[in-house]
Amino acid sequence: MALRAALNMGEYLNAAETYMRLALKAQSQCRTHWKRWRKSRLRAVAFLHNCIPESMLNGDIKDFDIFLEERRKLMSLKIKTRFESL
């Protein structure tokens, strides 16, 4: 979009302005999307490293005992994996 705006700068000023606005809007949307994705991805990785079940990613715990059971399984799997790597 920015290239097209530069090409139209000399002859079609309105078109150049329109292309620049579209390019800046696309850049802004891309940056916003990337930040949101990165934040959610980092949170998912942090949950994985801390043995927190994926069901917690959306923020609800239906039954705390089930949550604890899932977390115990994840923790035991992590310990087993570490122990086997020694």
DSSP letters, 50-73, are TT--GGGGGT--S-HHHHHHHHHH
Q: Are residues 30 and 2 in the same domain?
A: yes
Q: Which domain holds residue 61?
A: 50-86
Count how many Cα atoms sit within 13 Å of the Cα of residue 27 in the half-sphere of its side chain: 8
pLDDT digits (tens, 9 = 90+) for 46-80: 778 888 887 777 666 778 888 889 889 999 999 99
Q: Are residues 29 and 5 in the same domain?
A: yes
Q: Are residues 26 and 60 in the same domain?
A: no
Total of domains in the chain: 2
| Residue 17 within a domain | yes
**What is the reported pLDDT for 20?**
73
Cα 44–47–50 angle (5° rounding)? 150
Q: Are residues 29 and 4 in the same domain?
A: yes
**What is the reported pLDDT for 72?**
92
Q: Are residues 1 and 36 in the same domain?
A: yes
**Percentage of residues of the chain with pLDDT beyond 70:** 76
Q: Are residues 29 and 61 in the same domain?
A: no
Q: Are residues 66 and 32 in the same domain?
A: no
Cα separation of 54 and 77, whole Å? 15
